[in-house]
Structure 1
Amino acid sequence: MATAIYRGMTRQDLDTAYSNTGRLADFPGLMRDFRARSAALYAEHDCRRDLHYGPGARQTYDWLSCGRPDAPAFVFIHGGYWQSCVKEDFAFCAAGPMARGHDVILAEYTLAPEASMTQIVAEIGRLLDHLAPRIAGRPLCLAGHSAGGHLAAMHRGHPAVGSVLAISGLFDLEPIGLGALNDKLQLTPAEIAACSPQRHIAAGAPTLVAVGAGELPELMRQSDDYAAACRRAGQPAALLHVAGCDHFQVLDDLADPAGAQLTALARLGR
């Protein structure tokens, strides 16, 4: 009989509990659709592609302009469990923030196993350091989905960040370190402790924690627990369960300027 290793779950249970793609009938088809929509958005908007914030091959970002001078910045960090995907897969999400008057910056970062979690987290900090003088004091929202939600939460205390949108994030890395997702990440106990936003809630930007109401229970629990922990620590945090959305449909909501996430984000901190 398999041994329970986390919240009554075996390793196999845990792998299933965090398999966002495993519950989809056609994940490759979904990604083809995302990429096609992203390519169309790139073609339709003014964009500077593959700008560098560091020397690494993946230390790059795209800057999509909404056409307004001195527009606030919306930085988006893609997911993929820190080990897959590229910024170009999710550019379609920029449509929503751009329609609301934001310039959108699509962040790239080095993936595991080439980079450790510590290195990945540091890269996003380097990106923010690089962007700070370039946004000239304009408001900056740091957003991310899934692994990107984790990375956004890790940097809510950065001085350039005015607000955070953490979508379907992983805020406690302990269960990630116990399953197959750790084969490439190779998280150590010390790294799990240091890189789990739930365990290091200090003063930071107002934060909207969003998660699809139809997501896997563990993903919903992670978001619920993190939002509650922020509130207990006296930090400004709101929790949003996005109705009718799974782990990937939340990105369709983000791409909609009238979607639940951008609507809630506009109210954040008022």
Structure 2
Amino acid sequence: MKLYRGMNRQELDAAYHNSGRVADFPGLMRDFRARSQAFHAAQNGRRDLRYGPGARQTYDWFSCGRADAPVFVFIHGGYWQSCAKEDFAFCAQGPLAHGHDVVLAEYTLAPQASMTQIVAEIGQLLDHLAATGAGRLCLAGHSAGGHLAAMHRGHSAVGSVLTISGLFELEPIALGQLNDKLRLTAAEIAACSPQRHIGAGAPMLVAVGAEELPELIRQSGDYAAACRRAGQRAALLHVPGCDHFRVLDDLADPNGAQWAALARLAG
């Protein structure tokens, strides 16, 4: 039975199976974690600061050494149900080199938390950072983190947004195996799909790997186009030579395509 854009459940699962596109996904994650451990060993950051009482309501803060530095907030992916901020700490190298302090955000995963709760936790983090004087934020996220960043582009503390390989329409997620833990309700699909709620918000770069799965490329393109139709500043970048995971190498590289595009977005 066709469920979404001419795809049945098996085809939908394949269309969003990012790790299946990688020849050695466990090896890739080992590499990410090793690089992140080396980053932590070289940095004197503040780890596991709290923005709420929950076990995973924490964040890490790394300073670039400037007293007035803007703050780059990075939300990790994992389809809202796996991974941790420690897995992707190496990504902080790019924003640090560009004179940003970096916040690595954590949040409660499904099924312990619903999508509604996860979205609310990121809002709670942003409120906390604003209350502590962090100033205007560049809010960034990868994959599920890109979805969470897009959900909060209208927050008063957010000055710019970078979504990387994000998910902006939750309907296809709810129709496949990814929903086994998420348990999305119809109300959550409607309320938590950024594609359906495009209002006033911060200027945004919508980045996606040029070699990603077609559905991920389509979602980013559709969202950026809808934002522009609504009169919002939204640039679309297909990051050359990158799949869903290697796009993070580009973010970690101070000379990466995403940094050049962010500079253009800033004017």
TM-score, normalised with respect to structure 1: 0.98
Task: Please state whether the residue corresponding to 1:74 is helix, strand or coil.
Answer: strand
Please tell me the root mean square deviation across aligned C-alpha atoms, in Å.
Answer: 0.7
The answer (yes or no) to whether the contact 1:78–1:85 under 8 Å persists in 2 is yes
2:221 aligns with 224
Once the two structures are TM-superposed, the CA of residue 136 in structure 1 deviates from its matched residue by 4.4
Which aligned segments of 4 or more residues in structure 1 are displaced greater than 6 angstroms? none
Aligned length: 267
One-letter amino acid matched to 1:121: V
2:35 matches 1:32 = no
Alignment of 1:173 with 2:185, yes or no, is no
Which residue of the other structure, out of 5, 11, 21, is the alignment partner of 1:7? 5
Stretches of structure 1 that go unaligned for 5 or more consecutive residues are none
Give how far 1:45 is off: 1.4
Partner of 1:130: 128
2:62 to 38, 61, 64: 64
Say if 2:77 and 2:141, in contact at 8 Å, map to a contact too: yes
Q: Which residue of 1 aligns with 2:194?
A: 197
Give the letter aligned to residue 149 of structure 2.
Answer: A
After superposition, the Cα gap between the structure-2 partners of 1:9 and 1:40, relative to the gap in structure 1 and judged at 3 Å, is same
Equivalent position SS for 1:43:
helix
Which of 152, 157, 161 is the equivalent residue of 1:155?
A: 152
**Residues 135-163 of structure 1: CA deviation (Å, up to 9, x unaligned):** 343x3100000000000000000000000
* Alpha-carbon distance in structure 1 between the residues aligned to 2:108 and 2:5: 31
> What is residue 46 of structure 2 aligned with on the other side?
48
* Contact 2:71/2:134, CA 8 A, preserved across alignment: no
Q: Can you give the 5+ residue segments of structure 2 that lack an aligned partner in the other structure?
A: none
How far off is 1:26 after superposition? Answer: 1.0
Structure 2 letter corresponding to 1:193: A
Partner secondary structure for residue 33 of structure 2: helix
Whether the 8 Å CA contact 1:97–1:103 is kept in 2: the answer is yes
The separation in 2 between residues aligned to 1:128 and 1:85, in whole angstroms, is 21
Matched, 1:257 2:254: yes
Cα distance in 2 for partners of 1:206, 1:6 equals 30
Partner of 2:237: 240
